[in-house]
Structure 1
Amino acid sequence: MGKEWTRKLASKGIMYWKTIALVIMLTCVPISIVSFINWHVGNQYLIRQYQQNNEQLLKDTARRVDEQFSQLVQYASHMMSNPVLKPSLADTNFVDQFEKTQELSDTLYFIENGDPLVDQAYLYVAKQNKIMQPMLGLRTLDDPADAAAWSKIMSSDQSIFWTNGLPRPFNKGKSTHAIVMKLPFNSQQSYGALVLYVNPAKVNLSANSEQVAFVLDGEDTLVGQSDASKQYPEVMPSILEKLTETTRSYDTQLHFQLPLKNDKLLVSALSFEKMGGIWTFVSGTPSSAITAPTGPYRHVVIVYWIGSLCVALALSWFASNRMYRPIRKIVDLFKEGKPEPAPENNELKYIEEKWKQYRSVNETLQSSLNQSIPKVREALINQFVTGQAAHLTEAEIIEKLQALQLDLAEHRFFIVVCRLHSLTLNRGQLTAKDVQLLTYAAVNLLHEMSERIGSYVHTIDFMDGSFAVIVCVPAASAASGDNLKRPLMQLGGDMLNTLRDVLGMPATIAVSGPAGAWRDVPYLLEQAKRSLSYRSFTSDSQLLEAEAVMEKAKVEVEFPFELEQEFTHTLNLGLEKEAEDILIRFVEALQKDGAPEWVVHQGLMRLKNSLFRSMLQSNHNPYAIYDGIKLQEELEALRDANACIQWFRANVIRPYIEVLNRSYHPSMKGIVDQIMETIHENYMADLSLETFAMEAGVSVSQLSKAFRQMTGSNYIDYLTTIKMSHCKKLLVSTDMKISDVARAVGYQPPYFNRMFKKLEGMTPGQYRDQFNPTLQDQKKA
């Protein structure tokens, strides 16, 4: 029932809603206006009545405050005539005359408690710079600021006056409002003053809980306020601004309004004369407190308005339905009974607008479909190539591509993978943005060139300077895979030449295929990508046939371990030039027999790691000198041997040489070199580090530390390595007894056997049997 009702309302046309809106406006708007005016006028009337009644209350409260302060002045004048406060106090010795001092303190205590407005009573004796107060007793004004402030009151021409700037001495704080009475009263020569501080909380404002009330003295300083005033601290500056703009005199009245948060404050002010100045009593009440009694009336108005609105809506709906029924019948005929939303325009133009709408929607959908098909097709191909659609059969894949306007039935497929060599350009290393732009240009070039032999070409950018091109060739033009490989390899060569001539970019291109089934395309792509790592490391641009390269992928490379150790040892000695020469020989040894790119990269990474291990053994932190991840990424991006050598020299060798130059003294280097030379010449003798230290005139600890930093190992390990190296040579190249071999290098046979097995994992006899070629030939015979 609810859905049917909603559907009927939604089917109404704009004419229906205009009609009902007009009826509602003609009925509800006057009711709303009248209700609002009644409510607003009633509130304003209450406010005016309150202001009129408040004027008398304002005068009564101001008169009460005036009388309260007048009584205080009269009380103070009466106290001044007390015989205790005689002029002889100016020269009284209050310490000696204790009884007189006590009487004076009792009198001040009586004065403090004689009037509720009095907070504290002070007696000031100017000649002695002393004050007396019942709680403080007799004190001297030691603080210069307090002494100056209290001395200043004696310069006034008035015998009794009001002040709001006299601080209470000895950090007593509280209010500074006070009545000052010079002693003796009306005398030309005053010896001091009686000061009565006023308690603002005792000012009788007679304000209710919601009324804001202030009393301001002649200087518009706040003397007292009601509790409600503390809830509105922001109104005080505005009140003072209004009062300042008005010239006030005795009995001056002011009325104004101040804005509050979600409310407004109705303020009334009355001035009166007090102690030679114009004082002002300010009273204010929030308008919400005044109009609070109208709450029930407001609810009545709202209920009346809602009821009238409901009646108006019901009448409007009934009238609109009766008026709209003939038009609705005509519209339903054109809709042919189909539920549709109401037309946006007039129902009389419905047929014309409907026809335009259908035609526009049809053209838009067709255009969107034509634009989205290539993108959807590319997304599907990328999804399959990356292995995310491996569950689909060949027929399902072909069917899905046919639905996207691509018929790959009876086609053969080739893969062309290209990697740009951006870091080997003579113009320097390119930024990531430059590589992205050049890759984009290269992708477009290879796409256009591939269209020479393929009916459909799909490109994939791997976002790392490399990309792939999938070439689809009709089976009719590809009689055999071998006949098609030749023009495809020729096309690859043309691509390399074009990239070099147009973009100035060397590159490596790998061609893989053909494949008769689309499901083999991911395998061809992976094969082509892997073959890039087997490119020769001796030229810039290369063309690879992936299948042939992967058949020869198992290469045997002799790793130059001796050069690795020699390089680490030489670099630890700080010999930069010699280390660079060894690095060149190391790279040449890796390139021997045409080793592929990945072999050179892995060899250089091993050399770097070996250097790191040696640095750690020498108490150098390689991770504080190098960024390991960055070094590996930069090295893997290099495509020729010269670039690798230059990079290794600048990023690995030189930073370490700088660290070595700062870590030890040059004279210590000569001593270590001499020790190493002696070890190599007399390794069979009993050589101790203490002997070398004594001959060089250095401490054993200094020499041991320098030896470890320069060789990467401690003295004992280094000597043991040299001796074991000669032992292995004697075991392999001679037929000496094992005991004779041990004595030849300065070892006892039992110790030699244990040490050899610990270091090599086998006994000396087993080592000779395994590596002596003569014994191996005898065993074979």
Structure 2
Amino acid sequence: MLKSIHSIVSREYLGSWGKKKGRFYWRSLAWILAVSSLPGMISGFILYWVGDTRIERELHQLHASQIEKRAQNVDDQFAYLELSLAHWAFDPKFNGDLKDVNFNSAYQQAWDISKTLMVMQGSHPLAKKVELYLQRPKPVVFNPEYNLLLNQEAILPYVKNLSPVKEFFWTNWIQTPIEEPTSANVDLTLVHKLYGGSPEPFGALIVHLNRDKIINLLQTLTPYDQGETFLLEHNGNIFVSANNSPESMKFEGALKEKVRSLPVGHGSFLYKWGKDTYAVSYGNLSRIGEAWTYVSAVPVDAITAPVIFLSKLLMGVSLLLLILVGLLSWIASKRIHSPVDRLVRLFSSDTAAGDQENDEFGIIETNWHHLTRESKALQNKLEEQLPHMKESFLLQLFRGYLYSYSEQELIDRMEHFGWTVDQHQFLTVYIHLTGFSNLEGRFSQGDEGLVTFVAANIIQEFSLKRFEQADLINFHDMTIGMLVVASEDHPYTQNLREFTEEITQAINLILKMQVVVAISRSSSSIASIPDSFEQAIQALSYRKFENQNQMIDLEQLGETEVSYELRYPFQLEREIIQKMRTGEQEEAVVAVKAFLKALQENNALEIDVQTAMLTLLGSIHHAIMLSGVNPGRIYKDLNMFDELSQIREPDQMSKWFDLKVIQPYIREMEARSDYENKRMVERLMIYMQEQYMTELSLDQCAEQFGTNSYYLSRTFKRVVGKNFIDYLTELRLEKAKELLSDTEWKINEVAERVGYQHSYFNRIFKKQEGVTPTHYREISKNQ
């Protein structure tokens, strides 16, 4: 069969063009045609001949099930109405006293009855009207208004329709009994007689149903636009019909006889009427004292219409699919052969057409061996570049750029680069070189990369001797990172300490620099290496700020190592700010160096020194703003705090303050037009700091500086931001607090030292500080 398909396609459709193709092309085309068309034809036959019958049967079953459910809904509607009327009939308003009530005088009771009937009428969707009939010599009816029946013509419908002896029953209420019953004068009605404790009824509650709503309810039993539905009484009479046309009445009469001939219960059958076949479903509806039978007849064509359409559609689609399969097979064969053809052309562009027809894969195989040899040569070159790729991977791992990789993916990549990670733990080491500023003469500014390169080679040499797996990253900024992969079964602490001592001694000897080594906590997870490395970097903040060799092991770092108390030199801070305000650059730089020296006492940590220097920078910024100058304009909106936090050596910090903070500020101040006034205020402030213990006054100071008190007061307020007396009070109280904290002098002696009388000193101190001098001294000593 495949050979015949091959020959037909080749001869009839492709002609001479087909001679350019090889054997692989024609075989693939024949197989694709066979594989794609035969299953479709078989499945199409099965779907048409088997699926059509199955679907039609399922639709009939679904239709019967729907009719039963909808019939149950109809039954529930009637049952709810019966239950509601039975409940209403025993309402106290409808007791036996009604037969003797004179409603002409008891109008309130008549109004209550009318309201109750209106509520009853609105409580059920099928109810059209609810009436109360009272049997008297002069009968009364509420519908819902009170009416007195005075003539026989009005009384006759109630007498005729209430004649059955049943207490609770359904009936077709004939409005005019003397006329022939029709749909226009007959209502489906539910009646409940009222006895009120007597053997004979004195009246009745009558519920007239809305015929249109009843018909709509019955039409739900025919879910299609075609068909008939009706209800049969127990005696076989048609109680209610959804269609009263003459043709429908004939069909309903014949169908009624057929249903009565069947066993009592529910079921379904096919019924032939004229040219149409109907699917008939019937069943019982149990009502008060009797049983109704519902009958629903729907043309079979209406039920199976989707199946007929589906069959035609399936035939059309199958034909189109067959055509499409042929077209797609031809396209697929060309696409399948296309890469083979490209490979053949790529391998041998000069090969003749006849060679291609023989066997395309022969040409591919010959050239494949050639490519394999070239691939091995490239692999060798790749292995030569592997160390550089390994270093690049380690750098990305340290920096946290591989956060999107899972743990298993990281393990696979590390094993690919030659690491052994199974049952191993990981440590990161961060090495920082200090003392570069002390190497003037040997190295110049900008040689940091060269120094780091030399140190990295020294560290690499020692790491190969100490560790089985240790790899370095040179950051070229006086810092080096290292990853150590150690076995979980072997301790590493002593080995690391000896390694640290070796590299420290070597770098001290060769480079004349100091080494700070930070070692992270061990981890068994590769994904946690970036965090461990970041912790090692942050651990440098715990180094002693002096340039000395140190090792910081995070495994052993604890609170006991921070056992000193850093004292912030406030006096030197004020001196630095004062020197800057008066334009004394060299003196300000000297004060900065003294400030750093004071911080370095007691083996201060780097983190504390940096924090203190950042505080100093903040105080300088604050003082600049108080003097009316915008720091952003002076420092060109640079992030000064970030720059300062990157500096780790004292000399570099003092140089940075000189170049980046002090000089720009003094240049700005010298350029301002009111600089002389500010210099006068600064000199006044210096004078006040020297003479605060004397009886200073604004007039005295104005005379001292050759100006008047008004001008001096206004200038002082504009420059300092405070008036003269407030600044003098703050100055004296600051000095007083220092004496209270640092000396044992009596309170009156402290008051005299800062220029106050004892009694006034106590009042002003408590007013400004909120506590008395004695209490302040106690608080200061307890801190």
TM-score (ref. length: structure 1): 0.47
TM-score, scaled to structure 2: 0.47
